[in-house]
Chains A and B, each alone.
Chain A
């Protein structure tokens, strides 16, 4: 079960028994000044869940408004703010930080047998920066909203919109620094703090995906920062950069914006792929098939992600040659993604699959990422994108990737690591109900939107043609099922905190290091520094014999 010499005998010495990172010290102040990566991870987790709730409420309002072709519950101005805030909250407050900053912060040091990240105080600073950025975004909502769409396209965002664009973009700007610092911290930690015996190829694959993600965060986020700063300068001081009436170029903004925001798509999906790998291997008790292929495909995706931003701009007015080159390069993202898919299936082949709650999420991830990935091929194909660009097809596609894959992996990871983080088990039956409703509601809501899209329904429409009404209404009904699913999941997890059974150290019989310490772990993670003698997913000889 254990893969190191020192943690074989899990029994801790009497001094630490009964102690863990949660009860070591008490009081709000002890949390606000902590440098423990686990507590910081938990605070991130609470924050992103609040962000998810906020984005989710806006999502349900948007869907409710679209129940009928004209006004249902709000006017056009409110609708435009609702979809903008849904997108901005989900992207910047939830998905980008979701897995890396919460689960990553908590488990990265544990999985390499370290006490903490390389720069614990910097880690706390990045959390505070994230909160400050979030406050600016919330301030924007309270002081007039934002109606530009989460993409802040100019010249609408720089010169026309009368909403709180500066506050919102400044919030995103500040949150960018949080993202950069977390990425930097992870890179250094993985390079310097691996336990004795843990070579790069012995790391759990979740860490490879976080490593690739961190590289993108460090390299791409500054460009978003610069772009948003330029936008703020143009809006506040009328310095002409993007607005043609001031001598600027609106297409330039799109290049800058997508130079970050396309790699950011992989900041969002790569950690989800990493979580899925951990779930699939653990709950099938099967060593990962094609370890190196999965590890290097993460790095390959990170590199290729920098070369494909122009596929958001096939009809923007960029040159035809640029579009053709970007289309060609875009197709090469499909290769490492496909390699991962095949290797995940290879991992299930010949395993011993137990349909635990995390495993259900893992399998759902394969199904939804399959659809999300394959529908990307339509949009990469130049001529087909002429018809599908900026329609509901695109909306459906990226929800399958962002929500169907990343968010599902996040909730899978949450169920997978919940016993370790909280020391409590959850009600499996209730968790299954939550999962089932989420999965059904998700497909109900978003598969419908593929059909709307191919039939020509444009994005970001408040009023729409009567002929689209039945499909829109159908999609809205699905969103209610989806919302109910998440609500049940939250109730299930909240009840577990209150009255869940105590969790054993290793409830899933996993081989990775974070399970070789008690649940929840002590502040120092391990009483004695572990020494690694086996690969991440390798079981000791006596067990497999």
Chain B
């Protein structure tokens, strides 16, 4: 059976999949039961009066009591005490949610119309998929490239707007090994409702393995050319280099291996393993003539095996 992206923990709330969730749900149910009791009392009185004081005729006796100081004072003071108590209930969970533990794993998070990019401490990048270790606090350092976005994982009960021009942070510690979903909850344009990402919670050893090899539990290592094909898509090579000969930002990959390119300084070079490697690590050293020198370096972002895989893949693109 396929599970829903958000699993329900009760009638009202999703499953509690982070350490903060229980505290927030407790606060929720305190307000909930206070509201239920208040509502039943108020509506009970209303229903009783509607029955008791229904007009029977023009001679109905009317009460002429127009105020009661005792009542007025008590229904001012008692609710005041109750709402101040609620404030502290909310403040307690809020303070916990605002301050990340010192040992938190920091993941740099970038939001843009309409995708999420996560950069891990060792330089690994994942797009629209947040992978976190179970049982370890994770702190996201977030910024937006364009408009306002907001990070929301219902099962974790965390939410924080992502703002251009400034960093905002959010932290959580996942407690369940399962896939769930994160939403963008600040309206950001036509693709807003598709700006979701998968949240994958792995045990620490599996998380470490994923960081090292890019392999999730149950996945086998890919042959180099296939790994390269995957990297071509996940590392956004495809936004600038086409496979079909068309020109985007950079030269097409169609038949790139073995091709002789004219370099900006007038010399020419044959595309081989070393040129590809150099272009990944120092992309603006030998830019093909007629193209802007805008490619970012992948130094530190690709492992040796990744570079080998990309070379292997490019050999197959003919």
Which A residues lie at the B interface, using CB under 8 A? 76-77, 80, 147-149, 153-156, 159-161, 244-245, 249-251, 284-293, 315-317, 320, 323-324, 327-328, 331-332, 334-335, 338-339, 341-342, 345-346, 348-355, 363, 366-367, 370-371, 374-375, 377-378, 380-387, 389-391, 451, 454-456, 458-467, 544
Contact = CB atoms under 8 A, between A and B. Distances in A.
A76 B190 contact: yes
Contact of A335 (B80, B96, B184): B80
B164 A386 contact: no
Interface in B146-171: 146-148, 150, 152, 154-155, 157-161, 163-166, 168
A104 B152 CA distance: 43
Q: Determine the main DSSP class of B at the interface with A.
A: mixed
A350 B65 CA distance: 9
A390 B185 contact: yes
Interface in B282-308: none
A339 B76 contact: yes
B35 A352 contact: no
5 contacts: A149-B187, A320-B95, A335-B79, A380-B83, A386-B94
B148 A155 contact: yes
A458 B83 contact: no
The residue in A77, A244, A346 that gathers the most chain B C-beta atoms within 10 A of its C-beta is A346
A334 B79 CA distance: 8
Interface string B34-66: 110011001101100110011110001011111
B185 A389 contact: yes
Given A291-B66, A454-B12, A466-B4, 19 more contacts: A155-B147, A155-B164, A315-B150, A315-B159, A328-B87, A341-B42, A345-B45, A351-B62, A352-B56, A366-B42, A370-B43, A374-B38, A377-B83, A383-B90, A383-B96, A386-B93, A387-B28, A455-B13, A458-B152
Contact of B90 (A245, A342, A380): A380
A244 B147 CA distance: 9
A451 B95 CA distance: 26
B129 interface: no
B224 interface: no
B98 A155 contact: no
Q: Is the interface of A mostly helix, strand, loop or mixed?
A: helix
Contacts of B184: 458
A160 B187 CA distance: 12
Interface of B: 4-6, 8, 11-14, 23-24, 27-28, 31-32, 34-35, 38-39, 42-43, 45-46, 49-50, 53-56, 60, 62-68, 71-72, 75-76, 79-80, 83-84, 86-87, 89-98, 113, 146-148, 150, 152, 154-155, 157-161, 163-166, 168, 181, 183-194
B63 to A, nearest CB: 3
Contact of B86 (A147, A331, A391): A331
Contacts of A371: 39
A471 to B, nearest CB: 12
B72 A293 contact: yes
Contacts of A390: 150, 152, 159, 185-186
A349 B46 contact: no
B46 A367 contact: yes
A160 B190 CA distance: 11
A159 B188 CA distance: 12
Contacts of A363: 46, 50
